[in-house]
Amino acid sequence: MATSDIFSEFVEDGIDDLEAAEDIEKNLTTKGKENIKIFLLASSAERFSKALLSVYGLTVVFPLFMFNKLEDLMDKQELMTNIGKVLGKIVLTSFDEEELKRLGHKPISQSELKKLMYYTEKLLPEELRKVYAGIINYMNLDLKMRTYDELNTVADEVDKAFKAFKL
C-alpha cells in the first residue's frame, strides 16, 4: 500500500469512528451505548495518532533548529546521530502498515517518540528542557496513573514556553 494510502486510511477510519461516536451520543439511552462511544473515541484517537506519527516526530525536533545554530548542533555529533536514527525509525514506522499495526492501541507510547524527546531535550534551552521532561514524565506514567490535572499541568507548561519564546 502506498504511504499516502496508509495516512488516508487511518485518517478516514478515525473520522468514521468519530462520526459513529457522535451518532451514538445523539441516541444514547443505555450504559452499553456509552461504552461503545468511549471505545469509538479511543479508536479514533489511536488512528489519528498512527496517521500523524511522523508529524509528531518532526514536531519534537523542530525546536532544535529554532534555538541552535547548525554548527553548534554538529558539535554534538553523538546526540545528533541518535536523534537522526530515532527520527528515521519513527518516519519509517509511520509509512509501514505492519509496523503501525504492531504499535497496537498505544501508538505514541509504543513508538520511539519518548526516546526522541529524551535526546532532543538535551540540546534545548532550559525552559524547553523542563517542558520536554514534563511530557516525558507524563508519558512514562502507567495509563491508570495519568490524571487530567497532570495533563493540564503539562499543557500549562507548554503554553508558558510558547509565550516565553513568543511562538
What does the alpha-carbon distance between residue 147 and residue 155 come to, in Å, rounded to a whole number? 12
Query: Per residue of the chain (167 residues), what is the pLDDT tens digit?
Result: 555 677 788 888 888 888 888 887 777 666 677 788 788 888 888 888 888 888 888 888 988 888 888 888 888 889 999 999 999 999 888 888 888 888 887 777 788 888 999 999 999 988 889 999 998 988 888 878 888 888 889 889 888 888 887 76
The per-residue pLDDT for 118 is 92
Alpha carbon distances (Å) from 32 to 45, 50, 72, 105: 20, 27, 57, 21
Please, where are the H alpha helices in 30-122? 31-51, 53-67, 70-74, 77-94, 97-102, 113-121
Q: Specify the DSSP class assigned to residue 145.
A: G
Side chain identity, residue 107: P
